[in-house]
Amino acid sequence: MMPLVLPALFFISAVSAATSGLHPVVLLPGYTCSQLDARLTDDYRPFTPGCGIPKQGRGWFRLFENFTALQEDPGLLPCYADQLRLVFDPVAGDYRNLPGVETHVVAFGTTRGFGSNNPAQKNGCMERLVKALEGVGYREGANLFGSPYDFRYAPAPPGLPQRAFSTFVSSLRLLVEHASKRNGNKPVIIVTHSLGGFFAMEFLNQSPLPWRRRYVKHFLTLSLGIGGPPGILQVVASNPGTPPSSLLDSVLSFGNRSFASMLSVLPSPNVYGHTPLVITRAKNYSADDIPEFLSAAGLSDDVVARYRTRGLPVTLNIRAPLVPITCINSVGIPTVDKLVYWDGNFSVEPQVVYGDGDGTINLATVLALKRVIGDDPHQDYFKSVFIPNVTHDGMISDDFALKRVVGEIIEANQRL
Ligand SMILES: *[C@@H]1O[C@H](CO)[C@@H](O)[C@H](O)[C@H]1NC(C)=O
Ligand SMILES: *[C@@H]1O[C@H](CO)[C@@H](O)[C@H](O)[C@H]1NC(C)=O
Ligand SMILES: *[C@@H]1O[C@H](CO)[C@@H](O)[C@H](O)[C@H]1NC(C)=O
Ligand SMILES: *[C@@H]1O[C@H](CO)[C@@H](O)[C@H](O)[C@H]1NC(C)=O
Ligand SMILES: *[C@@H]1O[C@H](CO)[C@@H](O)[C@H](O)[C@H]1NC(C)=O
């Protein structure tokens, strides 16, 4: 009898969600908002002696981000950082976890795997947006779904291996189809914050156009720019001089800046042309000079080569997703436009030249959305919304912004 009960239950909740009239929503959070679990096998050879022993063969644990565990035992930091870094496998021609480290995102399909147990990060990962959506009738698992993703990896250009990203693409495709089926076959609304928008855009462009048109009602991006903010260059340049204060700092320094995604969010020549972004007495670096900049900042020739073969081509190939899109951005907050390392020493704090933006992404990358997407003659519907004086994370946590965001989601629901 049991097998009959389940489909019946599904049928009832599918009907109630369908009659609420809402299109299902799938959320993708920003950078570092997806939690990752890991397990270590005997193949794991820790960079720091002793890191493997307590956990090898002991099953899954929260690798990113268990703030509590790192508070209780700060000695774990280099171990977690080592286990979180990626390596490039020259035989596979692709990024991998370290041998002996297995990882997966937590609670795929739901929003429960968003965020960390760090109290300071409480509202930066869509928690308040989820609450606001519940306020207008959305229900987790019925018409509200979450797509965490492994933010360390990145899409590769056509023809190159991208195992982790391909896994993400197939999982998200199944999730979107499931969300649609549970809601009377209504197409879904994909809502993203920050880097989630880049992952979703690549996901859409790697999915067949008829599939996109069948399953995607609307694509709504929050705080997304195209072409990478100059502020990222400071993160890349900073040398691991001082002891890292967080796991992420630690990976970006100790982990030797190993994330594939780092190379996909660098400023694009399409957006900045020859404008100097990093200024030194001897030489200026524009987006055209990123390879020289990476070398000068101490990254290895291998990393620079991968920027040329993997990161840059994806950046240059960003294009209209050809589904209805609304881009909500904020302006009016001082945002890094240029960095001045006058003596050419990237280990010192740069002097910062500020421009307009949301404090994280600058106006130039936001205006590029219209050029790249809005002006594409095949892109039928493009709407750009600006909210003044809201920060990058305020977009998904300030009451005023949330009200506007939810209003746009309702409007997307009602568009014919
Ligand atoms: C985080 O670490 C704490 C303390 O070590 C542990 O009790 C807790 O279960 C961990 N959380 C998760 C989600 O694994
Ligand atoms: C990472 O950088 C440190 C310090 O520069 C260096 O000693 C170490 O060998 C590097 N680790 C890896 C795995 O490349
Ligand atoms: C670098 O750019 C600055 C600001 O645009 C400019 O004033 C300066 O002449 C440039 N320096 C070099 C070495 O090209
Ligand atoms: C760069 O600055 C760092 C930090 O102030 C200093 O330790 C280092 O010696 C400087 N390097 C050069 C080449 O001047
Ligand atoms: C944004 O904030 C600044 C400084 O608080 C204020 O001067 C300005 O009027 C605000 N702009 C808008 C459109 O609210």
pLDDT digits (tens, 9 = 90+) for 9-63: 344 444 444 446 899 999 999 999 999 999 999 999 887 777 877 777 789 999 9
Q: Which of 393, 295, 276, 415 is nearest to 342 (CA)?
A: 276
**What is the pLDDT, as a whole number, of residue 242?**
61
Residue-level pLDDT at 18: 43
Q: Name the residue at shortest CA distance from atom 4 of ligand 1.
A: 69
Mean pLDDT, residues 318-336 taken together = 97
Q: How far is the CA of 270 from the centre of ligand 3 (A)?
A: 20
Closest ligand by atom to 390 CA: 5
Specify the ligand 1 atom closest to the Cα of 66: 1
Angstrom distance (rounded) from CA 32 to CA 52: 24
User: Atom of ligand 2 at shortest distance to CA of 85?
Assistant: 13
Atom of ligand 3 nearest to the CA of 284: 1
C-alpha distances in Å from residue 102, one per residue of 76, 97, 148, 316, 325? 18, 7, 17, 32, 36
Q: Which ligand is nearest to the CA of 330?
A: 5
Residue 14's pLDDT is what?
44
Catalytic residue positions, numbered: 194, 358, 392
pLDDT tens-digit series, residues 129-152: 999 999 999 999 999 999 999 999
Listed as own residue / partner, the contacts of 92-96 with beta carbons closer than 8 Å and 24 or more positions apart are 92/161, 92/163, 93/160, 93/161, 94/156, 94/160, 94/161, 94/162, 94/163, 95/152, 95/153, 95/164, 95/260, 96/163
Q: Does residue 8 have a pLDDT over 70? A: no
Tokens 């067949």, residue located: 208
Position 249 scores a pLDDT of 74
Confidence of residue 243 (pLDDT cuts 50, 70, 90): low
**Would you say the CB of residue 72 lies under 6 angstroms from ligand 1?**
yes
What does the pLDDT look like over 89-121, one tens digit per residue? 999 999 999 999 999 999 999 999 999 888 887
pLDDT attached to residue 244: 65
Task: State the ligand closest to the CA atom of 277.
Answer: 3
Cα 156 versus chain centre, distance: 15
Residue 390 alpha carbon to ligand 5 centre in Å: 10
pLDDT of residue 237: 83
Quick one: average pLDDT of 373-399? 97
Q: Which ligand is nearest to the CA of 347?
A: 4
Which residue ranges have their beta carbon within 6 Å of ligand 2?
A: 47, 256
HEC sequence for the chain: CHHHHHHHHHHHHHHHHHHCCCCCEEEECCCCCECEEEEECCCCCCCCCCCCCCCECCCCEEEECCHHHHHHCHHHHHHHHHHHCEEEECCCCEEEECCCEEEEECCCECCCCECCCCHHHCCCCCHHHHHHHHHCCCCECCCEEECCCCCCCCCCCCCCCCHHHHHHHHHHHHHHHHHHHCCCCCCEEEEEECHHHHHHHHHHHCCCHHHHHHHEEEEEEECCCCCCCCHHHHHHHCCCCCCCCCHHHHHHHCCCCCCHHHHHCCCCHHHHCCCCCEECCCCEECHHHHHHHHHHCCCCHHHHHHHHHHHHHHHHCCCCCCCCEEEEEEECECEEEEEECCCCCCCCCCEEEEECEECCCEHHHHHHHHHHHHCCCCCCCEEEEEEECCCCCHHHCCHHHHHHHHHHHHHHHHCC
Q: Measure the CA–CA gap between 112 and 120, rounded to whole angstroms.
A: 18
Q: State the pLDDT confidence band at 1, using cuts at 50, 70 and 90.
A: very low
How much of the chain exceeds pLDDT 70, in percent? 92
- Rounded distance between C-alpha atoms, residue 321 and residue 344, angstroms: 40
Ligand 2 midpoint to CA 257 (Å): 10
What is the whole-number distance in angstroms between the Cα of residue 49 and the centre of ligand 4? 30
284 lines ligand 3 (CB under 6 A): yes
Q: Whose CA is nearest to atom 6 of ligand 4?
A: 347
CA distance 290 to 228: 12
Which residue's CA is the nearest one to ligand 4's atom 3?
A: 347
Report the mean per-residue pLDDT for the chain. Answer: 91
To 10 degrees, the CA torsion angle through 356, 116, 310, 157? -100
Question: Average pLDDT for residues 205-215, to the nearest whole number?
Answer: 98
Residue type, 93: G
Give the model confidence (pLDDT) of 342-354 as tens digits.
999 998 889 999 9
Ligand 5 shell residues, CB under 6 Å: 332, 388-389
Q: Read off the pLDDT of each residue in 295-311 and give the average, rounded to a whole number.
A: 94
pLDDT of residue 127: 95
pLDDT for residue 240 is more than 60:
no
* Closest ligand 2 atom number to CA of residue 87: 13
What is the CA(26)–ligand 2 centre distance, in A? 39
What is the residue extent of each domain of the chain?
A: 7-13+22-229+317-414
Phi/psi at 360 (5° precision):
-125, -55
State pLDDT tens for residues 359-380: 999 999 999 999 999 999 999 9
Mutate to test the pocket of ligand 3, among 272, 278, 279 (most ligand atoms within 8 A of CB): 279
| CATH code at 7-13+22-229+317-414 | 3.40.50.1820
Residues 113 and 35 sit within 8 Å (Cβ to Cβ): yes
